[in-house]
Amino acid sequence: MKNLEWIQNLVESEQRMEETGIIDLSSIPDETRDLQAKTNEFLKQIKEAFIEYSTAFNNMKNSTIGGVKIYGISNTVADFMLFRNGYKLLFSAIEAGRIAMTLQAQSTQFIPIPGHAQTPANDEYLEAKYGPFGELTWAYRGTHVNPEYLVRYYLSRFVRESAK
């Protein structure tokens, strides 16, 4: 069944209005809070897909070495990281409606050398866009994103780039 949360909110708002006789303008949805919740929901959705496909990859590989591991990021609601052979692929909500995807290779340099620039991370971004009638879609460089193809692309790229 479809998400009925918005119907429940509508009913509760009307019930409060009938009970108090006062129209509560603060019951109008907070777009920023709603967008943050939908950002976290989208991250959880793609994390579940990464877990499913990574488990299949690890099982088919049939080796304990070089498996893809997925970790949640502490002090965040839904951020997560893929790890394999010293490579990391991070997915993090940097603000409501904006997700950063960062691929990082393991560095052999433990202490930064003064005057030398650090290797920049390869950041890419997903942006949430509200369409007509409040429909939320995710876009990469302005183009609509299908979550399944997003996971397929990034897992394939991550496995290829993290191969020893």
Global pTM reads 0.78
Q: Give me the mean pLDDT over the 100-122 stretch.
A: 63
Whole-number Å distance between alpha carbons of 134 and 108:
47
- Decide: 93 and 99 in contact? Cβ < 8 Å: yes
The band of 137, judged by pLDDT with boundaries at 50, 70 and 90, is very high
Q: Provide the mean pLDDT of the chain.
A: 86
Query: Would you state the structure tokens that stand for residue 78, as one six-digit string?
Result: 């839904």
The band of 11, judged by pLDDT with boundaries at 50, 70 and 90, is confident
Q: Give me the mean pLDDT over the 43-63 stretch.
A: 95
Whole-number Å distance between alpha carbons of 15 and 47:
37
Percent of the chain with pLDDT over 70: 85
Q: Give me the mean pLDDT over the 88-92 stretch.
A: 96
